[in-house]
Amino acid sequence: MWLFLAFLAVPLIEIALFIQIGGVIGLWPTLGVVVLTAVLGSWLVRAQGLQTLARLRRSFEALDDPSEPLAHGAMILFAGALLLTPGFFTDAVGFALLVPGVRQAVLVHARKRVRMARFEMGTGTPQDAQRPARDEVIDGEFSEVPPEKTPNHPGSGWTRH
């Protein structure tokens, strides 16, 4: 029901804002502002997205919990979609999501409502050694391919030939 109301309310708000702002500053300046916010928003989304991607890489390298950089990345992506959507209300929400403090507040609110059951990463620590080993034997057959044999197709680029 909430999603239906959002899909109904957002276009009505946008139309009302276009009429009000267009009546005050005129048609061409209104369209110019819409195009300017899309260009500026795209640039900001790209810059913040690259920063968040770097934070995500660092969290993977340090084997930290990547949920916060992933959540920030998702909000930046959503902000980009809102900024590319023509309108003043969607631009305001999109620019608000580009503010790190606003994203952090949304994340804190979401953490209160979402419960993570389990998070685990394979670290190769002694903790992993405590797990019981599975005694599984996988039986298979193989044959060696002589090195002089070459494939009969040009290859996909995914393998070396």
Tokens 């005129």 sit on residue: 26
Domain that holds residue 41: 12-114
**Beta carbons of 76 and 52 less than 8 angstroms apart:** yes
Q: In this structure, is residue 127 part of a structural domain?
A: no
Using pLDDT thresholds of 50, 70 and 90, give the confidence band for residue 37: very high
Q: In this structure, is residue 22 part of a structural domain?
A: yes
Q: In this structure, is residue 154 part of a structural domain?
A: no
Task: Please write the tens of the pLDDT for every residue from 111-140.
Answer: 888 877 776 666 555 555 555 566 778 788
Q: In this structure, is residue 161 part of a structural domain?
A: no
Average pLDDT, the chain: 85
Q: How many domains does the chain have?
A: 1
Q: In this structure, is residue 125 part of a structural domain?
A: no
Q: Which of 18-27, 107-116, 124-133, 144-153 has the lowest mean pLDDT?
A: 124-133
% pLDDT > 90, the chain: 57
Task: Please write the tens of the pLDDT for every residue from 41-77.
Answer: 999 999 999 999 999 999 989 888 888 999 999 999 9
Q: In this structure, is residue 101 part of a structural domain?
A: yes
Q: In this structure, is residue 129 part of a structural domain?
A: no
Whole-number pLDDT of residue 1: 85
Q: In this structure, is residue 153 part of a structural domain?
A: no
Whole-number pLDDT of residue 139: 82
Q: Which residues contact 6 (CB under 8 A, 6 or more apart)?
A: none
Q: Which of 2, 124, 133 is nearest to 63 (CA)?
A: 124
Token pair, residue 124, equals 């190769």
Q: Which residue type sits at 74?
A: A
Token pair, residue 3, equals 């999603």
**Beta carbons of 52 and 80 less than 8 angstroms apart:** no
Distance CA 86, CA 13 (A): 12
- DSSP states of 72-97: HHHHHHHHHHHHHSSSHHHHHHHHHH
